[in-house]
């Protein structure tokens, strides 16, 4: 096989395509969650906190020489990113546990034994003769 044939066989395997779709959907979901947190959750948090827009808040470190050299540590932006991550992780956890529960529900297997119709003794399901009363089982 040529290099192109090997690459085409690899690229169009079901696993690779599924992984690519998962990454694209995950990125889109991340944008939705970021917008939800930025546009819905953060304004509510800003109403509760006295400082207003806490995502833009930070610690200003002033340089003694000139004001243009100020450094701002924006911890509010970091807290917003952590909140985004926690929301995404929570939703993925809930989805993954539902998928695991759905995939692990087992159909109960047929019992390994059955009752002899003559003496009601338990015999293996594939037995053709009862070991207790020696009757022939159908």
Please tell me the distance from the alpha carbon of residue 114 to that of residue 94, in angstroms, as a whole number. Answer: 41
CA distances for 131 relative to 79, 120, 127, angstroms = 72, 11, 9
For the chain, what is the total number of helices (H) and then of strands (E)? 4, 4
Q: Can you tell me the mean pLDDT for 71-82? A: 73
Please tell me the distance from the alpha carbon of residue 36 to that of residue 7, in angstroms, as a whole number. Answer: 39
Where in the sequence is the domain holding 129, given as residue range(s)? Answer: 110-138
Same domain, 40 and 73: yes
Same domain, 63 and 124: no
Same domain, 83 and 35: yes
Instruction: Tell me the per-residue pLDDT of 98-119, one tens digit each, with 9 for 90 and over.
Output: 876 776 667 777 788 999 998 9
Instruction: Tell me the per-residue pLDDT of 25-55, one tens digit each, with 9 for 90 and over.
Output: 788 888 887 787 777 777 777 777 666 555 5
The verdict on pTM exceeding 0.75 is: no
Same domain, 94 and 76: yes
Same domain, 26 and 78: yes
* pLDDT above 70 for 14: no
Mutual angle of helices 14-36 and 75-104, in 10-degree steps: 130
Instruction: Tell me the per-residue pLDDT of 115-127, one tens digit each, with 9 for 90 and over.
Output: 999 899 999 988 8
Same domain, 87 and 116: no
């Amino acid at each position: 096989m040529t290099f192109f044939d090997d690459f085409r066989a690899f690229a169009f395997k079901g696993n690779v395509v599924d992984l690519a779709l998962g990454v694209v959907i995950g990125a889109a979901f991340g944008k939705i969650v970021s917008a939800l947190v930025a546009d819905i959750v953060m304004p509510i948090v800003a109403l509760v906190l006295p400082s207003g827009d806490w995502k833009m808040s930070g610690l200003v470190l002033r340089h003694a020489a000139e004001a243009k050299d100020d450094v701002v540590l924006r911890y509010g932006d970091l807290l917003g990113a952590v909140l985004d991550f926690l929301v995404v992780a929570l939703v993925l956890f809930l989805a993954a546990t539902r998928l695991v529960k759905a995939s692990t529900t087992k159909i109960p297997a047929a019992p390994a034994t059955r009752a002899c119709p003559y003496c009601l003794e338990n015999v293996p399901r594939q037995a053709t003769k009862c070991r207790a009363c020696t009757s022939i089982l159908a």
